[in-house]
Amino acid sequence: MTSFGVIFRMRRIIGQKKLGHAGTLDPDAEGVLPVCLGKATKLVELLQGGGKTYEAEMLLGVITDTQDTSGQILEEHPVDVTEEEVREALFSFEGTVEQIPPMYSAVKVDGKKLVDLARRGIEVERRAREVTFSDMEILKMDLPHVTFRVSCSKGAYIRTLCEDVGRKLGCGAAMSHLVRTRVGSFSIENAVTIAEFEEKFLTAKENGLPMSDFIIPLPEFFPDCPVITVPDQFKNAAINGNSLPLTGTKPPEDGRKVRVFLSDGTFIGIYKRTGTKYALDLYLNEL
């Protein structure tokens, strides 16, 4: 299932069109895919900028056109490297490195997706970009198969990392399996499958139960931001996203972000203290 396929099915389950996902997963990959509902779609860009963690398996000795084993094999080579050489090659990419995005990707060049060009047999020059890999750990090594865990920044491709490792070893490599275990603060331990979500959603809807145990309420996404309740005389200013005066006897320190609510409990969004006022940082209301 593609990431768009997940959104399509979710729309049918909840009967709502305004949905978005943060961080596309390749069709052959599985794992965590944050889905934002309604006004929470404003968080998509914020979520996409967060770090991600993957568990991947690479197969040494092959090079494919897609950099994974679902593609067409272009080259095959004997694998006569040692486990220590594999370890050194993989860990040499830990830190900030330059990576050329793969042709089979959603990256756009001159307004055209690389994957669309690749499917037409067109290959174009791509600029290398800086990405970061961290917390590398080899989980299992049974050559020519290597399973590892890695965290990375936005825009990093694990498929490309595998191919780069294979190139460094001189035998080639392709990604054979990928599971995303974390996106920002969302981990696979707290995730639900689409089938589980559908069951929970329908049960809650039919019985009038709260959905907060499997759908995170928007204000709870910012647990580190103190709560500010706007006095009624400034209600319209808050609704319009205007600056607000400092309230309370102990306002937060300058630069601190806060969650702003109306007196009736309506969540307006995230403001930031700037000098003697609160300035709008992220508007999340639809009044």
Catalytic residues: 26
Classified as helix, coil or strand, 139 is strand
List, in sequence order, every residue forming a beta bridge with 145; answer none if it has no partner: 59, 142
CB distance 159 to 102 below 8 Å: yes
Q: Give the separation between CA 158 and CA 101, rounded to whole angstroms.
A: 10
Residue type, 68: D
DSSP state for residue 263 in the 8-state scheme = T
- Alpha carbon dihedral 98, 103, 106, 107, in 10-degree steps, equals 40
Strand 35-37 relative to strand 186-187, pairing: unpaired
CB distance 162 to 44 below 8 Å: no
Residue type, 98: E
Calculate Rg over the CA atoms of the chain.
23
Reading the block at residue 78, the tokens are 């004997």
Q: Give the separation between CA 93 and CA 9, rounded to whole angstroms.
A: 37
List, in sequence order, every residue forming a beta bridge with 273; answer none if it has no partner: 278
